[in-house]
Structure 1
Amino acid sequence: MKTSNKLKIFNDPIYGFIRIPNTLIFDLIADPYFQRLRRISQMGLSYLVYPGAHHTRFHHALGCMYLMQKSIQVLRFKGIEITDEEESGLLCAILLHDIGHGPFSHAMEHSIVEGVSHEFISLQFMKELNERFNGSLTVAISIFSGKHPKKFLNQLVSSQLDMDRLDYLKRDSFYTGVAEGNTNAERLITMLNVVDSNLVVEEKGIYSVEKFLMARRFMYWQVYLHKTGVVAEQLLISILKRARFLIKEGMTLISSRPLHYFLSHTIDKGNFDRSTLDLFAKLDDVDILSALKEWQYVDDFILSELCKMIINRKLLHIKLKKEPVSEAKFRVKFEKIMKKNNFSNEETSYFVFKGELKNKAYDREHQNINILRKNGKITDVAKLSDHLNLNALSKTVTKYYMCYPKEAV
């Protein structure tokens, strides 16, 4: 049997050539659990707004690993001890940090599983892979779950300035064409250091941190929480809610076996076992899209219409405001659609609904970004920055939306 060369490279449009550092990483990438990420979109339904946003979580995971390699190199050059075992743990943890995402990402966390985050599922995947790979991921799991004694290792994987955020901002900016979201990840990494086991940024990197936080705020409101993307995601959540209801009522809906299982069972942390994990691993964007294409022809008017809206991009109208939607205005739209279609209250709620969006570009209360000053003192970036917007970025911004069919305009 021919043996394969496991030290291959990937050609990435963002960073150029990404080298696979060792055989463990190669084998993890080759595993069906990880290959599934090729079929999970990084930005969900954002391609309905930005046509180029078709990149996958596979792309993103490799990009994060590349940035982690750079970070390890920089920190070691500055005299920070990172053992070979810790290096392997960091690379595996960042490679697998998003492996628990379901199809179309965050919409699934409210639809096919209840109270089960993608981080929880990622950890289940890592534990299963650890058994397959004879304990090779033990250090990676301790880093990922924040239990490793060296705090900065976890901060490189999950914090307000981690390799995950550095990659997705740069990558999503590239694929959407939204240039304002582009950050200089390599410059930021060059400025990293460690003090008292905590990740810090050297003072000369403060303007890069400011630009990074501003880019993050811009990307959230312009891209991730774009009103068209929001209404599309809400429609997908409603579709799965309706499908679950119809299956419970005894209606037969054509779908893949894994999708049918999750729609016909209530899955939470208590019953998310090994067999559930294996079924979840068979679920990807293809299952959802093929279901939408089938369900647009079912007899149920609500499910059929909702599916057609996404398939044909004829979405609900959405209004985004800084103030909460008044109940009177909401009732006018609600009752107009209810009367026109002879719907019940519950049926109307699939087409007329409201909600809120929250975003905080920088959280000063949790894993804040610390600047290492030239005099050796550590200061929070928001205190040290002369950028007036940084304090504003620390406040939660809430916007309110209402969705309804265009004929109710």
Structure 2
Amino acid sequence: MTNKLKIINDPVHGFIKIPHEILFDVIEHPYFQRLRRISQTGLLNLIFPGATHTRFHHALGAMHLMFTALETLKLKGVSISKEEEKSAMLAILMHDIGHGPFSHALEKMLMDDWHHEKLSILLMNKMNETFQGQLSLAIEMFQGKYQRKFFNQLISSQLDVDRLDYLKRDSFYTGVSEGNVNTQRIISMMNVCEDELVIDSKGIYSIENFLTARMFMYWQVYYHKTSALAEHLLVKILDRAKVLISQGQDLPCSENLHYFLHKNQFADPTEEDVQRFTELDDNDVIQAMKFWTKSEDIILSYLCKAVIERNFPKSIISSEPFSADFIKDKVEKTNLFFNITNGEELVDEISRSLLPYNSTYQPIELLEKNGKTITLEKAENQILSNSINELNTKYILSFPREI
């Protein structure tokens, strides 16, 4: 018999325990193993060379933090059964199983409006059939259908173990220390009141530090102008490939990527759609971009060379939208330099918006010593919560360096 109660050595959290055999079985499943070939942060390693970690790393880390959080809650007198513990760990382990190549970057580009969470549920249900219903409660928790709400809040909320892991992990691999949150301190402050996840009021500054760390990581890392541009280029490349294919061109690529570029309808995915999706990973897209650098289409070859050779277009960032005349000037210069008429394909204005803390949707609740709860932004000793609940938007304009 195989010993399934393994210990995994993780560079971020140290030793990670697998306390239930079903967790090992899910990790061994081909759907989960595919996450080894899905980048956690898209093309971020082109800007931060150390950011080569995968969704596989992140899922294991989030599972570990879920176990730690549940152990903390049990020590505080919260009743959690073995079945609930196992299911919560399964839910967070599988929460990203529906991610496609390069994670968020190409979401909706391959299967239309199929968000990764929608695909995750679809794949979870298929795996549940394989494991004879052992994942049913985990799927309930993931979808927020289980009556004890704090389980879903630990999986997906403004303060969940998913965010705690990716912030600490991405900070570690990018080398950006501003995102290095104290996960153990935050988890030690977690509590449950009326089946809702709350934070002991004395942990308020750890929570504010978490929120500001997340804000800095978004603007300094995820929404860094070159990071945002690299992600946008991936979308542009696949979009351009689809246009050329619709015009009758045959672009070289892997069999599975070829399938998705040629098919347009995914309202009700077939067995073949799902099977082919679970065989797709970053490698398919990288291989295609390498082929397409030699495409006769100037736009496609230019975009692919920008990524493969890391020769990105020039980008400038602003807190205000760029004027139409400024953009038009860039387009005209692009047309002139490349001797083309569709220069707007190489000149792009993109935007990135962030709301660091949403005080109206699932606000973070603090548990006071008298047993009452209060939302974070209403706490008397809060320092930053009232100033980070406004939407902030940055605009990025990219255009060929040659002009």
Q: TM-score, normalised by structure 2?
A: 0.98
User: 8 Å contact 1:206–1:385 — kept in the other structure?
Assistant: no
After the TM superposition, which parts of structure 1 deviate over 4 Å for at least 4 consecutive aligned residues?
none
Indicate the residue corresponding to 2:378 in structure 1: 383
Matched, 1:399 2:394: yes
Structure 1 counterpart of 2:259: 261
The answer for unaligned runs of 5 or more in structure 2 is none
Residues in 2 aligned to 1:307 and 1:262: alpha-carbon distance in whole angstroms: 19
Q: Distance in 2 between matches of 1:364 and 1:98?
A: 26
**Which region of structure 1 is more displaced relative to structure 2, 37-46 or 239-248?**
239-248
Structure 1 residues 149-173: Cα deviation after superposition (integer angstroms, max 9, x where no partner): 1111100100011010000000000
Bigger Cα displacement from structure 2, 100-109 vs 221-230: 100-109
Offset, 1:256 = 1.0
- Alignment partner, residue 301 of structure 1: 298
Partner secondary structure for residue 201 of structure 1? strand
Q: How does 1:287-298 map to 2 (within 5 A)?
A: 287-298=284-295
Which position in structure 2 is the counterpart of 1:192? Answer: 190
Distance 2:345 2:262 in 1: 20
What percent identity do the matched residue pairs reach?
A: 48
Cα offset for 1:275?
2.1
Matches for 1:220-369 after TM superposition, within 5 Å: 220-268=218-266, 270-344=267-341, 347-369=342-364
- RMSD value, Cα: 1.2
User: Quick one: structure 1 residues 290 and 82, their matched pair in 2 at CA, closer, same or farther if it must change by over 3 Å?
Assistant: same
> How much has 1:271 moved relative to structure 2?
2.4
Does structure 1 retain, via aligned residues, the 8 Å contact 2:348–2:398?
yes
1:387 is displaced (CA, Å) by 4.6
Q: CA deviation at 1:188?
A: 0.6
Structure 2 counterpart SS, 1:315: coil
Question: Take 1:385 and 1:354, find their aligned partners in 2: how far apart are those partners?
Answer: 41
- 1:70-81 matched pairs, under 5 angstroms: 70-81=68-79
Q: What TM-score results when the alignment is normalised by the length of structure 1?
A: 0.96
The one-letter amino acid of 1:32's match is P
AA aligned to 1:284 is D
Q: Per the alignment, in what secondary structure is the counterpart of residue 349 of structure 1? A: helix
The CA deviation at 1:50 is 0.4
1:385 deviation in Å?
A: 5.8
Q: What CA distance in whole angstroms lies between the structure 2 residues aligned with 1:106 and 1:338? A: 31
Residue 366 of structure 1: how far off its partner (Å) = 1.2
In the alignment, the residues of structure 1 paired with residue 51 and residue 226 of structure 2 have an alpha-carbon distance, to the nearest angstrom, of 14
2: distance between equivalents of 1:55 and 1:72? Answer: 26
Deviations 1:4-50 (A, max 9, x none): 22111110001111111121111100000000000001000011110
Uncovered stretches (5+) of structure 1, i.e. residues with no partner: none
- Kindly provide the CA deviation profile for residues 349-380 of structure 1, in whole angstroms up to 9, marking residues without a partner as x: 32101121100111112111111112222111
SS in 2 for 1:187: helix
Distance 1:338 1:97 in 2: 45
